[in-house]
Structure 1
């Protein structure tokens, strides 16, 4: 009888342990910066001295991996009066969970830091304006909003 009670107690203890862990993890996942953080190799390309705005039509919205080891992100090609511009928004897990949705043929104004990426001109977006909607991605110093904190 003692051994049966011991087995039942162990079963209950294991059930409570694993059930509480599963409940605690439901709906929660840690993404980290995935290489998109301010201090990452990619993040250090952001230059507050090269901030400018462009306007145009979205030609394409793509999921891309920009550098080895980075999580995939969202990239726009925007047709401006001067030609097409590559615009890097941020990690897909963040962009896909925002209320502002950017789609091909949208008219947008983008504020961002001009960079050279893989030998080609590009822009790291600070914000994307679509009509009255604004998708904010970084503060003026380049700290990504998905980081959730800033340097003190």
Structure 2
């Protein structure tokens, strides 16, 4: 079956229903009520590097943990709506070398948590695995909770997706290019395989970082603070091999 793509020529390249990146300057930010989501969505007017104006649809303001200012340079990953030539549906915001996901790969909004999205997204000690690889990408998948995921390349070239912890808990203790060894539960989310990491070691610094307990409960959760020292500081002082 031939794949049909609707293309639009805007002067910033040939754009289509395929995913692309755009770069430019924010010239206006506003809130627009969306009947589709029944809430107010942040919308940006972007002046691209060659002077074209693009309208970018983001997410609710409360879902963003950072502010976007007029005059700021920004990079967005997404695709244009086929019916609206200059409207850009954003999936990721790229800012200060971090990637903030606001929609999944099927462009379902991450600020809407449905039972279908959450199904099978739990830690199962029976499916624990241990893998080692080099970090290729670090991504913040929820600008609201600052939840971090990473893609690592194994020795055989396979790319594995990892679900880690909020960025404030990790405190920049890993970076792209680091080789890490992780232990965690294999799960499926949105039909995609991933590992929910319980513990990992940065082989560059030799530090072991514990993210979840043996049953998979996150150690950064507020209800665990003060329980025998378990809380935000967990995993910071451990070094060496497992």
TM-score (norm 2): 0.39
Contact 2:121 2:188 (8 Å CA) reproduced: no
CA RMSD of aligned residues (A): 2.6
How many Å apart are 1:93 and its aligned residue? 2.9
1:1-150 pair list within 5 angstroms = 41=118, 45-65=122-142, 71-80=145-154, 81=156, 83-96=158-171, 101-131=173-203, 132-147=206-221, 148-149=223-224
Distance 1:149 1:74 in 2: 20
CA offsets, 1:31-62, max 9 Å, x none?
A: xxxxxxxxxx5896111111110101000111
Q: Which is strand-richer, 1 or 2?
A: 2
SS in 1 for 2:180: strand
Q: How many residues are aligned here?
A: 105
Distance 2:120 2:214 in 1: 13
Distance 2:208 2:120 in 1: 22
Q: Which structure 2 residue ranges, 5 or more long, are not aligned?
A: 1-117, 226-242
| Structure 1 residues 44 and 63, CA gap change in structure 2 (3 angstroms) | closer
**Higher-RCO chain (CA-CA 8 Å, sequence separation at least 6):** 1
Runs of 4+ displaced beyond 6 Å: none
How many Å apart are 1:128 and its aligned residue? 1.4
- Larger radius of gyration, structure 1 or 2? 1
| Structure 1 residues 48 and 128, CA gap change in structure 2 (3 angstroms) | same
Q: Which is helix-richer, 1 or 2?
A: 1
